[in-house]
Structure 1
Amino acid sequence: MVLAVLLSLSSLAAGAAIEKRAVPAGYVAPPAYPAPHGGWVPEWSDSFQKAAQVVAGLTLAEKTNLTAGSGIFMGRCVGNTGSALRVGIPQLCLQDGPLGVRNTDHNTAFPAGITIGATFDKDLMRRRGEALGEEFRGKGVNVYLGPSVGPLGRKPLGGRNWEGFGADPVLQAYGAALTVEGVQSKGVIATIKHWIGNEQEKYRMYSIIQDGISSNIDDRTLHELYAWPFAEAVRSGVGSAMVAYNAVNGSACSQNAYLINNILKDELGFQGFVMSDWLAQISGVPSALAGLDMSMPGDIHTVPLVTAQSYWMYEYSRSILNGSVPVDRLDDSVTRILAAWYQMGQDKDYPPPNFSANSQDAEGPLYPGAEPGSPRGVINEFVDVQGDHAVVAKEVARDAITLLKNVNGTLPLSRSATLKVFGTDAEKNPDGINSCADQGCNKGTLGMGWGSGSARYPYMDSPIDGFKSRGANYSFYNSDSFPSNSNPSANDVAIVFVTADSGENYITVEGNNGDRDSSKLNLWHNGDKLVKDVAAKYSNVVVVVHTVGPILMEQWIDLPSVKAVLFAHLPGQEAGDSLMQVLYGDVSPSGHLPYTVPKSEDDYPKSVSLVSDVVLVQPQDTFTDGLYVDYRHFNKEGITPRYAFGYGLSYTTFSFSDATITPVTALTTTPPSRPAKGKTPTYSTNIPAASEAYWPDNFNAVFRYKYSFLAKNDADAAAKVGNSTKKYPYPAGYSNVQTAGVAAGGAQGGNPALFNTAYDISVTVKNTGKTAGKAVAQLYVQFPTGISFDTPIIQLRDFEKTKELAAGESQVVKLRVTRKDLSVWDVVSQNWVVPNVSGDYGIWIGDASDSLKLRCGTKAATCVGGQTSPV
């Protein structure tokens, strides 16, 4: 989400485009009504019961007040709901972002999602989530606006890929689920986002001149790729979900009933509340009927900060009174919101916000959006929430570092090595580490991308700080051009720091409008030339890359003097010592690539290029690549990448042997029938009295603040319509009769049988080298030949990182394959299907997607090493 979208015309959105362009045939967003009531899974029943009891006693205005924000800059947080103080329900504080508490102080700037993804470490994913939860709770944030798994990373140039965990749905799923579990273990509501298909920044929003981009996705691809990580987050009990700005199959995500009602709330069994992204809501009644529960930040998307207009708040009160929105739709939304509040225990001793996302001052306007007339007071208490979180942040940054090349043991460095360090990325931003709003620049050490997914640095431990702390013998040339005075010597080791950046499209950085539309996959600041120039003068060159995603390396990767290359990803505040621990061999690098590194942009299908240069029509982004994203595409087309997904070297070597495969749950073509829905709250369908929405007497309203009250005449007029025989023209296919649910549902995440373990796999991982290190066992599934479904050659289904193994030490690693892992989504039966129950599924294990030499077969239940890798 983002508030600074107000800074660009693209944020001043209107409801209709100049011209409507039809989506391609076959890509549809069918009607799906009604919005399923929540509370039918046992894990949430107590919280729904508590919430329903409160909702039953609320007035209409109190209910609608809880479903929307009070407006942009109308409170301390980026999002501030209304309250129901009469019954003890406070405003809820919603705050960015995925890697730390945004726009505040005394917080930790954690490594980005793409960095934790590169660790392939489930324990670290969970511990990072716990640390984030502690900080958000400590700041008084009710709702953490993360983690992000949309974008999935389909487009290598996409601006916000770095906020997620990698270009694979299973890697994303583990990152999301474990982050959710960690954050919510601290009582903070997590938000899985952005639902769904938000794969580029440009044209994502509905604007004055055209509708937001339509991501056209077929049903199977939606289920098997893009919805997969959302399903796992829901299975982990995530309390909220954020819909994306864009449309899917022609229907805006904020009012796409098929996506929200049918898939998210019914099939995936999501029990929490669905919020809009900031200014993504483009209608009132249609979005309510489609299952939206909360409007953020509350403003109408055409003229925020100009009027106090809202699609909801007072308009929602009007819609209930005039009968256009059924009463139970509102009641379910409010109950879902309060149920999440109860589910996390926020009704007991939860701290109020103690910071302002709008200012670093101690005192200031309480409602900056109401200036110049806002009341003033204390807005920042400067509460330190860092604790010992720098420890886990540094561990993530260190264990994500991915060694791609290391000729003749160039790394680790000798303690006495003479170093020549090049590139501005090695040292902090000279203008100040937080001098660019939302990190909207690429100056100094690149620790994160830019936009609402960023955070302020409490400090930046830069690589130069790291060299200093090591007492290294180094000379630093703080320039991105090769200097003439570096005086190369034969024994020097040259270390070159280079970057590639991206972010959210309300900020343009060096010609890149969020997406890498200007830089493409090239290094920034002439980084390729800097590497080549250094390599021409020095015989031992180490390249350190801080990057948001894949880059092109062909100009220099094979140069004889480029001896070692490290991807340090986006390390957050801990860029220095984390790198030193790897460079000097305190630890062996153990990161693996969370995406494929190509040799050319032409290696990708044209369909994943950025959609651009569209005028006055809805841009169409048709996902004709289907399931073939990232390594799936490279494998299908037989394209050898520069470095494959999952690749990563170590200072030591490992073997994978003595594997076993054990059948656990017998497979059937379709899963057992879903469990029936449990009991949900019963809501009245009677339109309330108009007086429940009247403005209170002598009420002191704040300018531009969003309220849920109606003038008496307006409320009475609406109630007159609602109590007449006039019927609202509901959309085609509309019904308000609750259903038993779709066959593929049944619990949080879907039919619980999908997650039954089909096979347990164990493998012995041995350190066969001379240096201690950690290995990552990656498990890929290969579907049997001869089935009627087209499937990628291999697909990641599980992974596990070992402890640090001493030279010669072994560890037995446990992996598993579920029914869902061996299934495909059948668009005809609308269910998960095992395409050949008795077929021989290949369970491949190795340390990268192109280094799989151990195969277990499900038919014979045996494992054999020394096999030819399937790709």
Structure 2
Amino acid sequence: MTDTDLDSLLDRMTLEEQVSLLSGEDIWSLPAIPRLNIGKLRVTDGPNGARGSGSLVGGVTAAAFPVGIAIGATWDPELAREIGAAIAEEVKSKGAHVSLAPTVNIHRSVTNGRNFECYSEDPELAAQLTAGYVTGLQSGGVAATVKHFAGNESEIERTTINSEIPERALREIYLRPFEAAVKEAGTWAVMSSYNKLNGTYTAENYWLLTEVLRDDWGFDGVVMSDWFGSRTTAPTVNAGLDLEMPGPTRDRGPQLIAAVEAGEVSRETIRERARNILRLMARTGALHDDRPFEERANDRPDDRALIRRAGAEGTVLLKNEGVLPLAEAPGTVAVIGPNAKVAQIMGGGSAQLNPHYRVSPWDGLVERLGADVLTYAKGCDNHRWEPLIEGGLTIDYFDSTDWTGPAVHSETMEQSVAFLAPPYGGGKVDPRAFTARVTGSFTAEADGPHRFGLHAAGYGRLYVDGALVVDAEEGAWAKGRTFFEEGNDEVTGTVDLAAGQTVQVTVEVRPKTPDNLDVTAFRFGVSRPLGDADIAEAVRIAGEAETAILFVGRSGEWDTEGSDLDGIELPGRQAELVEAVLAANPNAVIVLQTGGPVEMPWIGRARAVLQAWYPGQEAGNAIVDVLFGDAEPGGRLPQTFPVRVQDNPTWSQDPEVYPGLDGKVRYEEGVFIGQRHYDRHGITPLFPFGHGLSYTSFALSDLSAEASDEGSATARLTVTNTGDRAGSTVVQLYVGDPDASVPRPVRELKGFAKVRLDAGASAAVEIALPPRAFAFYDVTTGAWMVEEGRFTLEAGLSATDLPLRTELELGGRTLPR
């Protein structure tokens, strides 16, 4: 649809109709305008799939793809494009037109709870993967919504924090993936973040949304708020925020019409915002989409194969002293750890979905080897919250504030967790003045104390056989880091149970006034805490087995939206378990599943370590493919792993730097983030950015570089597979400006290439370097500057493994923004 067509449609619309398009009708859609045959635009959460219109729990099943950091570890923009294209089909299967993805914020710290959802600490790697994913998604006619724009690199007080970021750091680091999404991939939508940026909420930040996004970069799509992230009427509209989500509107509708009539917002501004919405609807086919709304669960074989391949491509072989790949017949195998029989396939928060299925490492090993050769011991726990009660649960809603009167609506629950969404209680209760009671049972499998836990965005109490065990009611409830910072931290209580004993569990909940996000939710569970005997059992089977594989790490309870980590140690007694198992079987393989770095005090004793992240629904199969060498461990680290949390770029004695103080977080490190920080301070990381081993070996040679008259350059080198099997590696090219007039990193990643070669084969690799590869952002002139002089080019296989070096002489020039 041309601008002329859009103008014609806008001319036929009343002011009220134009304004109606600038806010959601409900959580997931915009209102239709039947008079003009304008359809309903629908959106769905991403980025590792398409959940559809259901809540964060349950709903229509969907394909679960690898999370962002796992895609980042592939270093493969073409694979990101394939994933984006496949997810476009998933979005359409959920009746939606827009995917709220990808998440492209930078890994500033090692403790950000949402690092799992983002690609990298490095702006260039993140930019190229972003462009690939967005291109793939939009090739299927589905809009990408690149988020969160900008400065949302922590989950602490994220809805109100003021991110103070110098403009040079913004331009060179934090805005770079967004710029690539606009300029290189032509993204159709951008989502503003919750936080303030340099003193102004991003949803009403004219400099960010208009001067940078539209004027500098030429963006012509829709800017939407994060959910409940719009706080004002005229300021957001005038700044460039097209769409307030979700609906029903809080800030627009009649208020916006009144603002127009009062002269606070011009009619031309309303027209431009509505034009952007109509353009998005035309691009996605929503403008005249009158098909009945339908959500389907399409479990496609092609998706299964892609997810399994992508999982292996993102798996990083951190260390290998001749242990991997495992022999085709490995003998008896001890399978150990809290992540062995649980498929850790995704992180937590709005990225989670109801997968078609989950393949655990145990499942994958049984499929390959048969159960007869396997033994299992959990060893210890790693959960953050008590495990859910599964099945046999009923929730009753009461149209009262004290659980009195008959239940007006009842539902069954598959698990003891719920995000309650309107219409509450089947539309029979007031969202702010109702109560609910959940009843179910739990049967103990062993004697001993059992710990019950409850947390809620709301108030609640948990009873066991009628006795109060957990009190999270008003007065006892305290704001914590659950349910997007609207919930309390888990409160627990202990009950002694005998094996086989069944108890009645009752939880009573009621809503509370939200602080920022209008969420009512609860979660409760129970477990028997593990102890020394459980670690001893793991040690026993490890010592008796010919092969031991230990599956440890975190889960979406730890790596989640709404909550940063306290540190990067393995939760619970997992480090102790690793040490004990390695003492019993020194050849034990350690498989990590986390959404970011972890400390490894045991690394000197481990001979084989794999980092598998959260690779989607085929997790167990992808991991087993790599363990046995059916697939290459194709991943390279997209984030530096420090020896200890104190080594990471945001560690400071000043809490304003991180986690923030008095509503402000100061990005004091500027452009020295990620590997640039470790280079600058001479800190040796545990594993450097870009690190990853192969099952073969590679040599690089013959680096040369040639500059053009236009200021670009081309680097060339040769890669040879010097091993005895086919494999892949990632050639990385770093640029340095040793004579710069401003502080610049020792080296910056400016190009890379994933190379696959047969044994003994060689390939010529060419990496193009545009003028921006040599530039810094000059805040005094507001332009990108290349200074005349000498530049270094280093090539290698990680940020600390750079055997090749050459130099270029370039003339100075000013580049456009």
TM-score range, shorter chain: 0.7 to 0.9
CA contact 2:75–2:754 (8 Å) conserved in 1:
yes
Partners of 1:607 and 1:426 lie apart in 2 by 33
Contact 2:735 2:792 in 1 (8 A): yes
Letter in 2 for 1:498: V
TM-aligned CA distance change 1:280 to 1:622, over 3 Å: same
Change (3 A) 1:410 1:124: closer
- 1:426 corresponds in structure 2 to 340
Secondary structure of residue in 1 paired with 2:551: strand
- Contact 1:148–1:164 at 8 Å: present in 2 too? yes
> 638, 648, 666: which is aligned to 2:692?
648
User: Which of residues 283, 291, 297 in structure 1 aligns to 2:240?
Assistant: 291
- 2:102 and 2:130 in contact (8 A); partners too: yes
Secondary structure of 2:608's partner? strand
The answer to whether the Cα contact below 8 Å between 2:705 and 2:715 also exists between their aligned partners in 1 is yes
Pairwise mapping of residues 649-688 of structure 1 onto structure 2 (< 5 A)?
A: 649-667=693-711
Distance in 1 (CA, whole Å) between partners of 2:578 and 2:330 is 23
**CA distance, structure 1, for counterparts of residue 727 and residue 645 of structure 2:** 34
Residue 538 (str. 1) matches residue 591 (str. 2): no
Offset from partner CA, 1:323-372 (integer Å, 9 cap, x none): 210011111111111112223444476856413xxxxxxxxxxxxxxxxx
Q: Are residues 759 and 192 of structure 1, via their aligned partners in 2, closer, same or farther at CA, if it must alter by over 3 Å?
A: same
Q: Give the CA deviation at 1:320.
A: 1.8
Q: Which amino acid aligns with 1:222?
A: L
User: What do residues 511-555 of structure 1 show as CA deviations (whole Å, max 9, x unaligned)?
Assistant: 98843434x10112321111011112112111000010011112x
Q: Give the whole-Å Cα distance in 1 for the aligned partners of 2:222 and 2:85.
A: 22
Task: Identify the residue that residue 830 of structure 1 maps to in structure 2.
Answer: 782
Correspondence list, 1:766-845, <5 A: 766-783=720-737, 785-803=738-756, 805-836=757-788, 839-845=789-795
1:527 and 2:467 equivalent?
Answer: no
Cα deviation for residue 479 of structure 1 reads: 3.9
1:155–1:610 CA contact under 8 A, matched in 2: no
Aligned to 1:622: 666
1:55 aligns with 2:3: no
Structure 1: runs of 5+ lacking an equivalent: 1-45, 206-211, 300-308, 356-381, 428-443, 503-508, 668-757, 862-871
Q: Which has the higher mean CA deviation after the structures are superposed, 109-118 or 405-414?
A: 405-414
The answer on 1:114 being equivalent to 2:69 is: yes
1:376 alignment partner in structure 2: none
Instruction: State the TM-score, normalized to the length of structure 2.
Output: 0.76
Q: Give the distance between the partners of 1:139 and 1:542, measured in 2 at CA.
A: 40
CA contact 1:139–1:385 (8 Å) conserved in 2: no
Separation in structure 2 between the aligned mates of residue 638 and residue 106 of structure 1, nearest angstrom = 48
Q: Which of the residues 313, 324, 327 maps onto 1:399?
A: 313
Q: Using the TM superposition, give the Cα deviation of residue 639 of structure 1 relative to its aligned residue in structure 2, in angstroms.
A: 0.2
| Aligned residue number for residue 565 of structure 2 | 517
AA aligned to 1:858 is L
Any idea what SS the aligned residue of 2:537 has?
A: coil
- Whether 2:698 is the aligned partner of 1:760: answer no
1:354 pairs with 2:294: yes
Offset of 1:642 from its aligned partner?
0.5
Whichever structure has more strand as a proportion of its residues is: 2
**1:201–1:465 distance in 2 versus 1, CA, 3 Å:** same
The alignment partner of 1:780 has SS state of: strand
One-letter amino acid matched to 1:484:
E
In structure 2, distance between residues paired with 1:56 and 1:91: 20
| Structure 1 CA distance for aligned equivalents of residues 652 and 354 of structure 2 | 32
Q: Does 1:326 align with 2:266?
A: yes
Q: Does 1:256 align with 2:205?
A: yes
Give how far 1:821 is off: 1.3
The whole-number CA distance in structure 1 between the counterparts of 2:609 and 2:800 is: 19
Aligned positions of 1:54-93 closer than 5 A: 54-70=9-25, 74=26, 78-93=27-42
* 2:531 is aligned with 1:478: no
For 1:392, the aligned partner's letter is L
TM-score w.r.t. length of structure 1 = 0.71
Q: Distance in 2 between matches of 1:579 and 1:407?
A: 18
Cα displacement (A) at 1:456: 1.5
Q: Which residue of 2 aligns with 1:452?
A: 350
Matched, 1:123 2:88: no
In structure 1, what is the Cα distance between the partners aligned to 2:357 and 2:210? 44
Distance 1:478 1:617, change over 3 A: closer
Q: Which residue of 2 aligns with 1:194?
A: 148
Cα distance in 1 for residues equivalent to 2:339 and 2:652: 29
Instruction: Tell me how large the CA RMSD over aligned residues is.
Output: 2.4
Amino acid at match of 1:853: P
Which residue in 1 is equivalent to 2:219? Answer: 270
Q: Distance in 1 between matches of 2:348 and 2:38?
A: 34
Change (3 A) 1:513 1:817: closer
Aligned residues: 648
Partner letter of residue 305 of structure 2? V
Q: Distance in 2 between matches of 1:232 and 1:180?
A: 10
Distance 2:155 2:654 in 1: 9
Do the aligned residues in 2 keep the contact of 1:129 with 1:179 (CA within 8 Å)?
A: yes
SS in 2 for 1:417: coil
1:634 is paired with a residue whose SS is helix
**Could you say which residue in structure 2 is the equivalent of 1:691?**
none
Q: Is the 8 A contact 2:346 2:614 kept in 1?
A: yes
Structure with higher RCO (Cα < 8 A, 6+ apart): 1
Q: Is the contact made by 1:298 and 1:311 (CA closer than 8 Å) also made in structure 2?
A: no
TM-aligned CA distance change 1:614 to 1:422, over 3 Å: closer
Shift in Å, 1:408:
2.9
- Quick one: distance in 1 between partners of 2:291 and 2:796? 47
3-state SS of paired residue (2:751): strand
1:55-83 C-alpha deviation (Å, 9 max, x unpaired): 1211111101111011xxx3xxx421122
Secondary structure, counterpart of 1:254 in structure 2? helix
Residue from 388, 395, 412 that aligns with 2:302: 388
Amino acid at match of 1:391: A
Residues 37, 288 of structure 2: 8 Å contact kept = no
With over 3 angstroms needed to count, the CA separation of the structure-2 counterparts of 1:501 and 1:794, relative to structure 1, is: farther
For residues 174 and 653 of structure 2, the distance between their equivalents in structure 1, rounded to whole angstroms, comes to 18
The answer on whether the counterparts of 1:119 and 1:399 sit within 8 Å (CA) in structure 2 is yes
* Distance of aligned partners of 1:311 and 1:614 in 2 relative to their CA distance in 1, 3 Å threshold: farther
What letter is aligned with 1:833?
M
Q: Secondary structure at the match of 2:728?
A: coil
Look up the equivalent residue of 2:768 and give its one-letter code: R
Structure 2 letter corresponding to 1:54: L
Q: Distance in 2 between the 1:353 and 1:629 partners?
A: 45
Taking the aligned partners of 1:610 and 1:325, their CA distance within structure 2 comes to 42
Q: CA deviation at 1:764?
A: 2.0
SS at match of 2:552: strand
> Are positions 1:184 and 2:228 aligned together?
no
- Pair 178,421 (structure 1): closer, same or farther in 2 beyond 3 Å: same
| 1:765-821 deviation per Cα after TM superposition (whole angstroms, max 9, x unaligned) | 1110012101111111111x2221111111111211123x21101222231111111
Equivalent residue in structure 2 for 1:227, among 168, 175, 182: 175
Letter in 2 for 1:218: P
Quote the sequence identity (%). Answer: 33
Distance in 2 between residues matched to 1:511 and 1:462, nearest whole Å: 18
Question: Which residue identity lines up with residue 348 of structure 2 in the other structure?
Answer: W
Check if 1:461 corresponds to 2:393. Answer: no
Of 657-666 and 80-89, more deviation after overlay is shown by 657-666
Give the residue type in structure 1 aligned to 2:329.
R
* Cα shift at 1:610: 10
Q: State the alpha-carbon separation in 1 of the partners of residues 282 and 595 from structure 2.
A: 37
Q: Does the C-alpha gap of structure 1 residues 497 and 350 become closer, same or farther in structure 2, counting only changes over 3 Å?
A: farther
Quote how far apart the aligned CAs of 1:852 are.
0.9
1:709 aligns to what? Answer: none
Report the CA distance shift for 1:793/1:617 in structure 2 as closer, same or farther (over 3 A). closer
Describe the SS at the equivalent of 1:411: coil
Letter in 1 for 2:119: F
Q: For residue 40 of structure 1, what is the aligned residue in structure 2? A: none
Residue matched to 2:493: none
Unmatched tracts of structure 2, length 5 or more: 381-533, 812-817
